[in-house]
């Protein structure tokens, strides 16, 4: 005698209601949350006591890059050495 096999069906779980509840909770908390306003930060600005002002032109800029190359700039014209 042969036995009859019963095909077992796995129960399906519908995820739609859980996703709906998650979106409802997220939207509820987003709409009901009140944020605290940022407090202004107190900044102490440094000041200079020097009486000699820097010139606006005839400025020499020396730049050294990561490879050790030296660039000398005179009035925004860079010459390579």
pLDDT digits (tens, 9 = 90+) for 51-79: 777 766 677 888 999 999 998 887 755 44
Residue 2: pLDDT band with limits 50, 70, 90:
low
80 domain residue, yes or no? yes
Q: pTM for this structure?
A: 0.34
Structural domain contains residue 59: yes
Instruction: Judge whether residue 13 has pLDDT over 80.
Output: yes
Which residues constitute the domain of residue 74?
55-81
CB 70 within 8 A of CB 78: no
CA angle 50, 77, 53 (to 5 degrees): 10
Does 81 map to a domain?
Answer: yes
CA distance 35 to 15: 32
What rounded mean pLDDT belongs to the chain?
82
Query: How far is 39 from 22, CA to CA, in rounded Å?
Result: 33
């Amino acid at each position: 005698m042969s036995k009859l096999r019963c095909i077992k069906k796995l129960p399906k779980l519908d995820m739609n209601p859980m996703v709906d509840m998650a979106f409802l909770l997220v939207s509820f908390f987003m709409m009901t949350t009140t944020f605290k306003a940022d407090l202004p930060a107190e900044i102490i600005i440094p000041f200079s006591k020097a009486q000699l002002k820097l010139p606006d032109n005839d400025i020499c800029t020396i730049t050294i890059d990561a490879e050790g190359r030296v660039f000398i700039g005179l009035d925004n014209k860079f010459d390579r050495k």
